[in-house]
Amino acid sequence: MAPGLEEYLILSALLFSIGLFGAITKRSAVVILICIEIMLVAVNIALVAFSRFITPVELTGQAFAVFVIVVAAAEVAVGLAIILTLYRQRHTIDTKKVDLLKW
C-alpha cells in the first residue's frame, strides 16, 4: 500500500521541526546552514506531495521544488562565502562569539 498525503506531510513536518530545532540551538555556522537545507528539503517534500495528490497531471509542485533547489544552491554558495570570510577575519565560526559591530 502506497503512503498517502498524510504520511508525506508528517515526514515533512518532522524534517522541518528537526531542521528548525538545529538552526535555533546549534552554534556552528556550517551546522546552521545544514539545518536550513534540511528545512528546505522538508518544504520540497510537501510541495511534491501536494502536487501529486491534488493535481497529479500538472507538475506545478515539481516545478516549485526545482526552483527551491536552485535557491538553496545559491543560498549555500553565499552562506559558505560569508562563513569563509568570517573565519578569515575572526578565526572562528561560532555564532555566539561573532559580533560584527565590535572589533
The tens digit of pLDDT for each residue in 37-64 reads: 999 999 999 999 999 888 888 888 889 8
The grid cell for 79 is: 552562506
Residue 64 vs residue 13, higher pLDDT: 13
Domain ranges of the chain: 5-90
pLDDT score at 43: 93
Cβ-proximal residues to 58 (8 Å cutoff; 6+ apart), any chain? 51
The grid cell for 23 is: 538552526
Q: Which CATH class is domain 5-90?
A: mainly alpha
CA distance 89 to 48: 41
pLDDT-derived band at 89 (thresholds 50, 70, 90) equals confident
pLDDT score at 7: 93
The terminus-to-terminus CA distance of the chain in angstroms comes to 60
Contact 5, 49 (CB under 8 A): yes
